[in-house]
Amino acid sequence: MKRCFSTRQRRILAWVAAGRCAECGQPLEPDFHADHRIPFAHGGPTLLQNGQALCRPCNQRKGAQMPQPQLRPWQQDALRKALTWLVEARQDRRFLINAAPGAGKTRVSCVIAQTLLALGEIDRVIVIAPRAEVVNQWADDFRQVTGRYMSKVTARDGDIHGLGLDVCATWAAIQGLQDALQAMCGAARVLVICDEHHHAAVQAAWGEGADSAFAAAQFTLVLTGTPIRSDGAESVWLPYDDAGAIDYPEGGTYTLTYGEAVDLGYCRPVTFHRHEGRFTLDLDGGQTVQISGQQPATLPRPLARIPGLQRVLDFYRLACTPQYQADKQTPLATGYQASMIESAAQKLDDLRLRMPNAGGLIIAPSIEMAE
Ligand SMILES: [Zn+2]
């Protein structure tokens, strides 16, 4: 989008203002400033809806008062692209932001909402988020950016008592609110923000209901960090292609890949260390068996005749069985899991020499094992 208003736009702005400064009311000189009400650097578009005619002194005063932009560069780009698609081109009422988790989708969405409110394009905002903790985060961020209170709905009982203008609800809670939301979208100009869009697909049992509840929404902002899905279920909001990827025009999409987010320092890179996972099993009577993920255990001759023993000594079965000391509570320090964790902790220490904020993630097969 162009940064400067065209000559024609300038003339229209001056004409709309009846030839007077929008701030102080003094007659405009020929060198008046065609001003972005929401600054261009904050994502404000170069549209008549966002323009005003200011005299030179008022423009300079405003420039000195404006706070620094609080958005990352990708967020400014996404904001501008969303406004171009939704407000200027009016191609479609939906816009898709596909960015890695942690890149800052919530914040840029709040700024898009704030900008649409300031431009007079919408009256109210509904956010749908996956979980209660995320709902709280949305309400906090939304208040910080827009100064507006956002009601939180996490119960499934459909109670609408005490709800304010703007609402953030979990995907599960939406089901009980469909009639209320449909009525609201019909009566007011609503921006619907659909967070973690792939959750909608998971709960697609009510997908069509959700579609109809929000069919009259003025705009829909779809956020995802997982643009591919594999369950083959019916999609909500956006079409998918045969490969399970979101199929939506490029102009209506902003994508920040995981690789880009890592390069920009918003996300940390993921590394996997291969570990062959060989260990020694001590049997009663002083015998030992080598267990490995590569091949079945080789048993000493007398043991090989015991039916089912080979199956009991399966690598994955043993690796996924917690080992305890005699009290059956204290994890065994020499056990397979403990030694794997120790090895992983050493790798993490090494990694932290290069990347001080590196973290580790253990994926366990069960809650018992995780604990
Ligand atoms: Zn003025």
The strand pairing partners of 40, in sequence order, are none
- Is the Cβ–Cβ distance between 290 and 318 less than 8 Å? no
Quote the CA–CA distance of 28 and 40 in Å, as a whole number.
22
Q: Distance (Å, rounded) from C-alpha 76 to C-alpha 72?
A: 6
pLDDT tens digits, the chain, 371 residues: what are they?
678 999 999 999 999 999 999 989 999 999 899 998 888 877 778 888 889 999 998 988 887 666 655 788 899 889 989 998 998 888 889 999 999 888 899 999 999 999 899 888 999 999 998 888 899 999 999 998 888 999 999 888 888 888 889 999 988 888 888 889 899 999 999 999 988 776 665 554 555 556 677 888 999 999 988 765 555 555 566 766 776 677 788 889 999 988 888 888 888 888 887 777 788 888 777 788 888 888 788 787 777 788 888 888 888 888 777 788 888 888 888 888 888 888 889 999 998 998 888 888 888 877 777 87
d(C-alpha 238, C-alpha 235), whole Å: 7
User: What's the CA gap between 14 and 6, in Å, rounded?
Assistant: 12
In this predicted structure, what is the pLDDT of residue 209? 58
Contact 213, 182 (CB under 8 A): yes
Give 204-210 contacts, CB < 8 A, sequence gap 24+.
204/233, 204/234, 204/235, 204/236, 206/174, 206/175, 206/178, 207/234, 207/235, 207/236, 208/234, 209/175, 209/178, 210/174, 210/178, 210/236, 210/237
**73-263 classified as CATH 3.40.50.10810:** yes
- Give the pLDDT of residue 349: 93
Q: How many helices and strands (H and E) does the chain possess?
A: 15, 11
State in Å: Cα 57 to ligand 1 middle: 6
Report the DSSP pairing between strands 33-36 and 51-54. Answer: antiparallel
Residue range(s) occupied by CATH 3.40.1800.10 in the chain = 7-65
**120: CA distance to ligand 1 center in Å?**
23
The highest-level CATH class for domain 7-65 is: alpha beta
**Cα(51) to centroid(ligand 1), Å:** 14
Return d(Cα 30, Cα 24) in angstroms, integer: 16
pLDDT at position 176, please? 84
The whole-number pLDDT of residue 158 equals: 80
Helix, strand, coil percentages (3-state) for the chain, rounded to 5, are 40, 15, 45
How far is ligand 1, taken at its centre, from the CA of residue 35, in Å?
11
How is residue 266 written in tokens? Answer: 């918003």
Distance 25 CA to ligand 1 centre (A): 6
pLDDT at res. 192:
94
155: Cβ–Cβ under 8 A, 6 or more apart, which residues? 173, 176
Cβ(129)–Cβ(135) under 8 Å? yes
64 CA → ligand 1 middle, Å:
14
Instruction: Give the Å distance between the CA of 59 and the centre of ligand 1.
Output: 7
Q: Where would I find the H helices in 264-314?
A: 301-304, 309-312
Q: What ipTM, to 2 d.p.?
A: 0.94
How far away, in angstroms, is 139 Cα from ligand 1 center? 37
CA of 60 to the centre of ligand 1 (A): 10
For the chain, give every residue range classified as CATH 3.40.50.10810: 73-263
Instruction: Read off the DSSP letter of residue 313.
Output: T
- What local confidence, expressed as pLDDT, does residue 131 receive? 85
* pLDDT value of residue 86: 92
Question: Could you identify the residue written with the tokens 């292609």?
Answer: 241
- Ligand 1 centroid to 136 CA: how many Å? 42
Q: 67-102 as b/e, with b when 16 or more CB fall inside 10 Å?
A: eebebbebbbebbbbbbbbbbeeeeebbbbbbbbee
Up-side HSE of residue 164: CA atoms within 13 Å toward CB? 12
What pLDDT shows up at residue 190?
96
